């Protein structure tokens, strides 16, 4: 009885715990099945993918850049093994791109995102992450178009991209990362502010329309 109560309490605590990490897709389910079922290439890929996500969570909250790089490299290895086992796993390709981007390997990141999008056209998380790689490469027109595409199809992910663009602009204006392309960054900032205003106005109109429909 005591053990049952402990398990029930643990379950409630886990369910009540706030999510500390929210990038892209979460873990994927792995079928139990008969003994040995998890040894199929597809299921092994899922297990590696889920392991990789856990490592990414630690990497994104790492206290030092060296620790973060080490963890991103470990995660990358897991995702690369996953796509070798299951080349059709678009989620894993997306995180191959994510890990490469965090390691500064932008060309490899873009290639991985394109693989993910080829498997799942319009994949919002891959579009958003790819746009962040575009920002790092200062391909501002491509980043802006990515936002417009997302705004038309997935407002929540579009909002995440807009916040990422604001953070990137702020970093470029900081003392240690002052951009040599100040005019281009200023133009991007103006565009972002305009899109933020439009998004806010659109959200307000949507809320008013929803309220009116209940009257």
Show pLDDT as tens, one digit a residue, over the chain (215 residues).
Answer: 444 444 343 333 333 333 334 456 666 666 665 555 558 999 999 999 999 999 999 999 999 999 999 999 999 999 999 999 999 999 999 999 999 999 999 999 999 999 999 999 999 999 999 999 999 999 999 999 999 999 999 999 999 999 999 999 999 988 655 556 889 999 999 999 999 999 988 865 554 444 444 44
Tokens read off for 81: 């093994």
Give residue 210's domain range.
124-215
> Does residue 149 share a domain with residue 202?
yes
* 182 is a domain residue: yes
Q: What is the largest CA-CA distance in the chain?
A: 68
Let me know if residue 64 belongs to a domain: yes
What domain count does the chain have?
2
Give the contacts of 149 (CB within 8 A, at least 6 positions apart): 127
The dihedral of CA 16, 62, 94, 90: what is its sign? negative
* Rounded Cα gap, residues 180 and 107, in angstroms: 21
- Does 3 reside within a domain? no
Alpha-carbon separation of residue 149 from 20, 127, 141, 160, 162 (angstroms):
28, 9, 12, 13, 12
Give dist(CA 20, CA 4) in Å, integer. Answer: 28
Which of 121, 150, 185 corresponds to the end of one domain? Answer: 121
Of 97, 121, 145, the position where a domain reaches its end is 121
Against a cut of 0.85, is the pTM above it?
Answer: no
**128 and 112 fall within a common domain:** no
């Amino acid at each position: 009885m005591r053990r049952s109560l402990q398990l029930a309490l643990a379950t409630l605590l886990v369910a009540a715990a706030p999510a500390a990490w929210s990038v892209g897709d979460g873990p994927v389910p792995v079928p139990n099945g008969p003994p040995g079922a998890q040894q199929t290439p597809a299921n092994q890929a899922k297990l590696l993918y889920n392991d990789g996500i856990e490592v990414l969570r630690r990497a994104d909250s790492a206290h030092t850049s060296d620790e973060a790089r080490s963890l991103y490299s470990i995660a990358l290895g897991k995702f690369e093994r996953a796509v070798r086992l299951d080349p059709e796993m678009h989620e894993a390709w997306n995180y191959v791109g994510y890990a490469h981007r965090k390691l500064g390997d932008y060309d490899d990141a873009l290639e991985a995102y394109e693989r993910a999008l080829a498997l799942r056209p319009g994949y919002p998380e891959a579009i958003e992450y790819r746009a962040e790689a575009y920002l790092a490469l200062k391909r501002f027109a491509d980043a802006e178009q990515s936002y417009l595409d997302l705004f038309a199809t997935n407002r929540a992910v579009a909002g995440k991209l807009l916040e990422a663009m604001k953070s990137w602009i702020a970093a470029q204006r900081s003392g240690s990362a002052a951009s040599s392309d100040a005019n281009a960054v200023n133009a991007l900032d103006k565009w972002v502010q305009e899109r933020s205003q439009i998004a806010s106005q659109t959200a307000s109109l949507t809320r008013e329309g929803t309220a009116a429909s209940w009257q």
